[in-house]
Structure 1
Amino acid sequence: MTRRLLKYMPLAALLLLAGCSTEISPIDRENSVWDKYFVGPLSDALDWFADLTGGQYGLSILIVTIIIRLVILPLTLKQYKSSKRMQEVQPELKKLQTKYKDDPKKVQEETMKLFQKEGVNPLAGCLPILVQMPILIALYNAIMRNEHIGEHTFLWMQLGEKDPYYVLPLLAALTTYIQQKMMAHQMTPQMQSLMIIFPVLIFVMAMNFAAALPLYWVFSNIFTVVQTYFIYGKPKPAVAAAEPAKLKSSSGGSKK
């Protein structure tokens, strides 16, 4: 149950953003604790870096995105480490489920013993995600609700308007797909089926938002792709996972 929660948490965050109205209210530091301590400071950071770069809010979004992602990197690494440990014990978990398939209570007891023996905490990956989500949502709000961003341009785009050429929506969808492809070997077949749904959803959303938001998604996705490469290395081809089973099958056939 915990692993499912962890895997579907990004989807929940994505749907949360999808449900956000395109009618953005101004940042209210006086009456909103969220705006005063989270959204407001990030909006100020966007303004500050834009001043340093000659009013280039596109570069400011890039800089703030990188800084935020580096700040939460230790949490991300902890999440990856927890996920990796859970994967390592999966073969043993499957053995227990097969051995005690008629006794769910016994499966639960033996699973807890296995976690204690291997030093695995199934909840360890929850905290990093729960901490990251408010930060990333606050950054999303800061970008969308900053009153100055919409008045500036970046490359061919007016940041406060939709990309007329749909280049950003396409890049946002493409980088989302690449990001998921990098993690495909960590996904269940059910999650892999979302590899097409996510990019399509991102594309449709990016078409309906001002260019500043899909620009942020592109920057964030590229950072995630690079980060994943350095943590996990090159993505493993799907056939690699099937190879051991194939060898085992051929070995079993030769014994006959």
Structure 2
Amino acid sequence: MKSIKRFALSAMGVAMLLVLTGCVNVDKTTGQPTGFIWNTIGAPMAEAIKYFATDKGLGFGVAIIIVTIIVRLIILPLGIYQSWKATLHSEKMNALKHVLEPHQTRLKEATTQEEKLEAQQALFAAQKEHGISMFGGVGCFP
């Protein structure tokens, strides 16, 4: 199960890398962009900008602002969910502070590498026992 999650996360990372870098092929004869990423993301946004700029006569500056607002409204639920999840994780950490604090002080006071490793493993075990993750309130991590 862990390897499937790791593979899925890696695949999503590579996909996001391709999407966010604007990786598109260009047709050598026409000079027009082609490819899956362009056809699914770039072309519709370009057409929307052209629609607002030329068909509605608003100009390209206003058209870009309108398309940006539309995209932000589409991703707004993801931002709200991430904010809610971070707040929930913060509340869990505050509620379990009395349980985790001895492990954290033990980790800070450890002098040898073995002591630090034992204290860190105890801290992770306590977090796992209470159903919280070190990265629980950060982005898409569970």
Name the TM-score, length of structure 2 as normaliser.
0.57
Q: CA RMSD in A?
A: 3.4
Which of residues 100, 104, 120 is equivalent to 2:120?
Answer: 104
Render the CA deviation track for 1:49-78: whole Å, top value 9, x for unaligned. Answer: 113441511111111111111111111101
Cα displacement (A) at 1:96: 5.0
**How far apart, in 2, do the equivalents of 1:27 and 1:100 lie?**
61
Q: How many residues align?
A: 103
TM-score normalised over the length of structure 1? 0.34
Deviation sequence 1:19-62 (CA, Å, 0-9, x none):
x9xxxx76512xx2111111111111111111344151111111
Unaligned runs of 5+ in 2: 1-16, 108-114
Q: Determine helix, strand or coil for the equivalent of 2:49.
A: helix
For 1:95, the equivalent position in structure 2 comes to 101
Q: Counterparts in 2 of 1:127-206, with a 5 A limit?
A: none
Q: Which runs of 5+ in 1 are unaligned?
A: 1-12, 128-256
**Residue 62 of structure 1: aligned partner:** 65
Deviation (angstroms), 1:107: 0.4
Identity rate, percent: 22
Distance 1:98 1:71 in 2: 40
- Kept in 2: contact 1:46–1:61 (CA 8 A): yes
Q: Which has the higher contact order (CA 8 A, sep 6+)?
A: 1
Give deviations 1:185-205, integer Å, cap 9, x for gaps. xxxxxxxxxxxxxxxxxxxxx
More displaced 10-residue stretch of structure 1: 95-104 or 36-45: 95-104
Equivalent position to 2:139, from 98, 117, 125: 125
Summarize the Cα distance change of 1:99–1:89 in structure 2 as closer, same or farther, 3 Å threshold: farther
Residue identity in the other structure for 1:67: I
Aligned counterparts of 2:130 and 2:70: Cα–Cα separation in 1: 39
**Structure with larger Rg:** 2
